[in-house]
Structure 1
């Protein structure tokens, strides 16, 4: 531990105090992502994280109350990165519904493929961990609300379609992260887009029928 303290004192030489805490927090989050993403929740202990980050344990408690709080930070970081990827994909796709659907599904799955640890944090491990499960529920609710807002308001067909699409996309991402859908990304995207567009067409028709009734 003495070597850790010596390394830490050298590491922070010349770094303003106001930046040190933020940098140490980021180091802990990165270390937790590596441990959790590669070995699962059992690997995420205070000592293991600090050893991976090469920081004294007191720096852990400077930033987090426990490993649950740290795990929430890891999830939030990856969720924010995925949100950025999705936003760029939709912007580049333009207004066409099919292009936007294809770009969104493709880039979400590719984000997971590029680093399988992301899938473990965002989807695979979320099913058995209450911290991650709560974060995932909040993310699903946010996605569903966004889909409803993009539709024609809170009409029942729109709400139901948004609910089903959100659940289906979450399960699709989980299965892809678990490797249960094979390796052909294009094939998975093609099938997912076809089903999504069919649901959208059915919802549109149902709305039209409801609005045509006296």
Structure 2
């Protein structure tokens, strides 16, 4: 059965200079372009998250979105650009879920740790397509490394954990440099556990993964809670 795709229409021509955009079905040209872009992003999440980046073509994305390939290149130069857009969108969603959970938790550091990690792991398990894109394919797409997207994303989570440590222990007697290094280590630790969990198809229980991730945070809390002389920044 042939899949119906949106065909280029006459009204898609560039509007005359200084004239208002013509309306089609109540939408301007700019609004229609944005709508098509959003369809491609949703199609990409479905396709990449199910089959993997390297098994999906531009044509596959367009078929999923029910759009012609012309409309793909209207928004993205190549598949890697769409994948990068999707990756950043999903990272934002994941980070927001974690931060929201931490901020809504009680002021007890242990409960904050549990809330943040639970939000992270629950988001991944409830969204296996997101999990695959972030923790499997993104690590293999060279374009993301070339443009430092992966590095910047890891740095964002480093900063989030750094802020989390300061929130738990505002009077911590450690230098900013040391806390920054510890945050990077914690991020890498949790990331590696998450990658293994996602690649296994979430075989291990949530409780087991949560416990494994929590260990280092609780150890950090115990160590940093000890009274030590302040260190100059």
TM-score range, shorter chain: 0.7 to 0.9
Secondary structure of 2:230's aligned partner: helix
State whether residues 98 and 197 of structure 1, in contact with CA within 8 Å, keep that contact through their aligned partners in structure 2: yes
> Number of residues paired by the alignment?
209
Which whole-Å deviations, capped at 9, do the CAs of 1:25-44 have from their partners, x for residues lacking one? 01001111111111112233
Equivalent residues of 1:32, 1:49 under 8 A apart: yes
Distance in 1 separating the partners of 2:142 and 2:223 = 35
Is contact 1:25–1:63 with CA below 8 Å preserved after alignment? yes
Q: Distance in 2 between matches of 1:204 and 1:158?
A: 13
Gap runs ≥5 in structure 1: none
Aligned to 2:217: 196
Matches within 5 A, 1:113-124: 113-124=125-136
- How far apart are the structure 2 equivalents of 1:113 and 1:77? 17
Deviates more, 1:12-21 or 1:169-178: 12-21
SS of residue matched to 2:67:
coil
Query: 1:180 offset after TM fit, Å?
Result: 7.1
Alpha carbons 1:90, 1:104 under 8 Å: kept: yes
Between structure 1 and structure 2, the one with the greater Rg is 2
Structure 1 Cα separation of the partners of residues 6 and 185 of structure 2: 52
Deviation at 1:148, TM superposition (A): 3.0
* 1:40 aligned residue: 52
TM-score, normalisation: structure 1: 0.85
Task: Tell me the distance in 2 between the aligned counterparts of 1:201 and 1:90.
Answer: 19
Residue aligning to 1:186: 207
C-alpha displacement of 1:5: 4.2
TM-score (normalizing by structure 2): 0.78
C-alpha RMSD over aligned residues? 2.7
